[in-house]
């Protein structure tokens, strides 16, 4: 079966229309896709299953994607890459996503071909075991681009 050869994708998104669309596209590419509407159900799934890639929406009710990523990393360590699905690509959100343990992000308006490309790319990279180093390099790159925090650069108040 082609789905087994391509791998299992865990898709965590509270939008059923979006989940169905992404699931259909990835299944057409030979992946097996399990869609979960929230982080709690996804955590239960991860207790007994290991996907090749996790796709995780950032904006979800109850537990957002950033917190969910922290939880998933505690459960599975570095055994699967986590790719964030986001409507926003602001630097502060992306930095939080990488610091939470995310490996990459896909802006939802980028198109379905981009989704497929990123999933295939990370499925292939996952076997190399260097995703934590890549994540740290990405965090450093973003922080360098941001420059020093205005709060960190403020001089300490003079002692009386």
- Buried b / exposed e over 74-104, threshold 16 CB at 10 Å, is eebeeebbbbbbbeeeeeebbbbbbbbbbbb
Mean pLDDT (whole number) for 6-17:
95
Is it the case that residue 93 has pLDDT exceeding 90? no
| Banded pLDDT at 73 (limits 50, 70, 90) | very high
Among 2-6, 60-64, 93-97, which stretch is predicted with the lowest mean pLDDT?
2-6
Q: pLDDT digits over 26-40, tens only?
A: 999 999 999 999 999
| Banded pLDDT at 90 (limits 50, 70, 90) | confident
* CATH architecture designation of domain 2-128: 3-Layer(aba) Sandwich (3.40)
Q: pLDDT digits over 105-158, tens only?
A: 999 989 999 999 999 999 888 766 666 777 777 777 777 777 655 444 444 445
- What integer best gives the mean pLDDT of the chain? 86
| pTM of the full structure | 0.82
Q: How many CB atoms lie within 10 A of CB 40?
A: 14
CA-based nearest residue to 33, from 58, 61, 66, 2: 2
Is it the case that residue 64 has pLDDT exceeding 50? yes
What is the pLDDT, as a whole number, of residue 91? 86
Q: In what order do the strands lie in the sheet with 82-86?
A: 32-36, 8-12, 53-57, 82-86, 104-107
């Amino acid at each position: 079966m082609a789905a087994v050869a391509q791998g299992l994708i865990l898709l965590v998104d509270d939008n059923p229309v979006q989940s169905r669309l992404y699931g259909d596209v990835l299944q057409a590419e030979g992946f097996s896709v399990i869609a979960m509407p929230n982080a709690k159900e996804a955590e239960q799934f991860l207790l007994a299953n290991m996907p090749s890639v996790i796709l995780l929406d950032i904006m979800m009710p109850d537990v957002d994607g950033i917190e969910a990523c922290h939880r998933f990393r505690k459960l599975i360590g570095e055994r699967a890459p986590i790719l964030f699905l986001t409507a926003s690509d602001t630097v502060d959100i992306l930095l939080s996503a990488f610091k939470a343990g995310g490996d990459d992000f896909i802006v939802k308006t980028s198109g379905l071909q981009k989704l497929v490309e990123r999933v295939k790319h990370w499925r292939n990279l996952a076997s190399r075991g260097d995703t934590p180093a890549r994540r740290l390099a990405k965090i450093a790159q973003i922080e360098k681009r941001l420059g020093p925090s205005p709060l960190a650069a403020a001089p300490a108040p003079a002692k009386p």
